[in-house]
Structure 1
Amino acid sequence: MATSTPTLPPGYRAGPATVDDIAAISALVADCEQVVEGRVRVDAGAVAAVFARPGLAPNSDTVLVRDDRAGRLAAWAWVDRRSEVDVHPGHRGRGLGAALLDWVEERALQAGSAGIVQTVPDSDAGAVALVRSRGYVPHVTAWLMEFAMPDEPSVPEVPPGLVVRQLRPGDEPAAHLLVQDAFDEWQERRQSYAEWAKHTVDRPAFAPALSPLAFRDGQLVGAALSLDVPESGEGYVAQVAVRRDQRGQGIARHLLRHAFRAFHHAGRRSCTLWTHSDTGALDLYLRAGMTVRHGSTVFRKELRA
């Protein structure tokens, strides 16, 4: 039977999260990002996608921690093969992170997981030290890439035989298949359409007009799927994929530049995306004119009963 709540320091209480808590969780994560990264990237759609993970049962796989006195949200965590622990900056240094890691690991063991991973910003020295002290070891390096565009970005010539246009209603199933096939080389599992859509095309922030697609002979061969979160002040390309037999022709670079220019027209003066060492795509983004804003490390811990 799942452990319902972690063992917390005095002054806090815990319980499972529900979809009604999404806005409060988003605010908590935003406060964490502001302190650690100097800006906010999260939106409610990103948190809602956690609740849509197949196999995640909110009642047993999520936990909210509140301050006993004010009742305010102090931390939250979830676990479903992967996991995330976020502690509000005003409540750090009180043992909440360690307590939630205990809970995450115990819940993962109960679910039959052989290991668990946590993604930690390299600039968050306290969090890095905590996971290392608990036996987590570096597994993958992730980078937030940035393209600064004070002026309208140029777009290279369309590769021969390619037709590029923005995503239209009805393109979503083909985009899902393209992304899953392209990501098969490194992702741990294929996502169903419903799960993938929660992270992309069904999110309120999804921006089809800023999401260019590439076709050859009527077949979708490339996509750059974008999210527009105005409060972040910048554009974000959530996924870039090119069919394997079409790589090496400049399609990804062309689609990225299309997206950058569209974001510039929308008033954004920078655009970001995440990549990590398993994808082998870092050099592609550097050649497209992007730079590394900051890095994170995916830490993994093997679990034993």
Structure 2
Amino acid sequence: MSVLAPVLPPGYRSRAATADDVGAIHALVAGCERAVYGRVQADAGAVAAVFARPGLVPSSDTVLVHDRCGRLAAWAWVDRRSEVHVHPDHRGCGVGAALLGWAEERALQADSEGIVQTVPDDDAGAVALLRSRGYTPLVTAWLLEFAMPDEPRVPKAPSGITVRPLRTGDEPATHVLVQDAFDEWQERRQSYAEWAKHVVDRPTFAPALSPLAFHGGQLVGAALSLDLPETDEGYIEQVAVRHDYRGRGVARLLLRHAFRAFHRAGRRSCTLWTHSDTGALDLYLRVGMTVRHSSTVFHKDLRT
């Protein structure tokens, strides 16, 4: 099977990405985030985790685009989902449209029935491009924040529940808890290796800021945090509560423990992402979080 290459505007060239490119890709993504959000949200670990996606083959499923001076202008990957990032200096040149077309063709080549792209709602150009190519909204995602000018109060734990930070050796049980909790909405269960690459094996993972909830020695909840280097905020990557312990205040307790831990570490706000499939937005709003940004997950059926 031949490797597809995007049909780029004059002056641009492409090649596949490798794990050695993570640093340069992160710098590109950071530039895109500054342009849209005014601050950096992703870390290099988030980029590295893309290369750990099972089924993704970097030589055929990733593309780097350089300009005529050799500067990285864009990057894209596709593996059921897809992401396209174009540096602000190269928007409006046709690079994004070329990479979107490449992602669709690669997905078709891999026998995918559809493709998914996520774009910030504030990025009007990207939203217009997707809609013009037949993409329709699928899911809404929200970045929520919790302001902490004062140390957050931690409520009394529900009867029988104890909370402590994650310790070495807790990771396998935490993986199972998260996968079980997310089964109702995630596209597939992640293996331990894939999940760890996205969370506990990231250099920015902060076990001391990641509270776990137990009942009778059994793990029933987790709030897993990252200590991101390019922001003055705390960030919670995943929140999960065992199904039979929901509605008891466990999630609220874990969030408040994480907020307090970040406050004591010098942070004065904390953020996390959620989306409409999780049904968790109301929980976060009741805890006192507010919506800072929203994004839309768009889908395109490639069979039509």
TM-score (norm 1): 0.99
Q: Secondary structure at the match of 1:85?
A: strand
Match in the other structure for 1:301? 300
* Contact 1:4-1:16 within 8 A present in 2 as well: no
Task: Output the CA distance in 2 between the equivalents of 1:43 and 1:161.
Answer: 37
- Which residue identity lines up with residue 9 of structure 2 in the other structure? P
Match in the other structure for 1:16? 16
1:161 aligned to 2:191?
A: no
Match in the other structure for 1:61? 61
* Contact 1:225-1:237 within 8 A present in 2 as well: yes
Match in the other structure for 1:271? 270
- Which residue identity lines up with residue 118 of structure 1 in the other structure? Q
Q: Output one character per residue of 1:101-131: Cα deviation in whole Å (capped at 9) or x when no partner.
A: 1100000001110000000000000000000
Q: Output one character per residue of 1:245-287: Cα deviation in whole Å (capped at 9) or x when no partner.
A: 0011100000000000000111111100000000000000001
- Which residue identity lines up with residue 46 of structure 2 in the other structure? A
Task: Output the CA distance in 2 between the equivalents of 1:108 and 1:3.
Answer: 12
Match in the other structure for 1:197? 196
Task: Output the CA distance in 2 between the equivalents of 1:117 and 1:41.
Answer: 21
Match in the other structure for 1:208? 207
How far did residue 233 of structure 1 move?
Answer: 1.2
Task: Output the CA distance in 1 between the equivalents of 2:267 and 2:230.
Answer: 11
Alpha-carbon RMSD: 0.8
Task: Output the CA distance in 2 between the equivalents of 1:95 and 1:233.
Answer: 35
- Which residue identity lines up with residue 225 of structure 2 in the other structure? S
Q: Secondary structure at the match of 1:90?
A: helix
Q: Secondary structure at the match of 2:227?
A: strand
1:238 aligned to 2:262?
A: no
- Which residue identity lines up with residue 102 of structure 2 in the other structure? W
- Which residue identity lines up with residue 99 of structure 2 in the other structure? L
Q: Output one character per residue of 1:27-72: Cα deviation in whole Å (capped at 9) or x when no partner.
A: 000000000011101111000000000000000000000011x100
* Contact 2:4-2:106 within 8 A present in 1 as well: no
Task: Output the CA distance in 2 between the equivalents of 1:4 and 1:73.
Answer: 19
Task: Output the CA distance in 2 between the equivalents of 1:267 and 1:108.
Answer: 44
Task: Output the CA distance in 1 between the equivalents of 2:56 and 2:229.
Answer: 29
Q: Secondary structure at the match of 2:230?
A: helix
TM-score (norm 2): 0.99
- Which residue identity lines up with residue 50 of structure 1 in the other structure? V
Task: Output the CA distance in 1 between the equivalents of 2:203 and 2:170.
Answer: 17
How far did residue 2 of structure 1 move?
Answer: 4.2
Task: Output the CA distance in 2 between the equivalents of 1:2 and 1:223.
Answer: 44
* Contact 2:43-2:229 within 8 A present in 1 as well: no
Match in the other structure for 1:288? 287
- Which residue identity lines up with residue 187 of structure 2 in the other structure? E
Q: 1:2 to 1:119 in 2, by over 3 A?
A: farther
Identity %: 78
Structure 1: 4+ residue segments shifted above 6 A: none
Match in the other structure for 1:85? 84
Match in the other structure for 1:118? 117
Match in the other structure for 2:139? 140
Task: Output the CA distance in 1 between the equivalents of 2:145 and 2:270.
Answer: 6
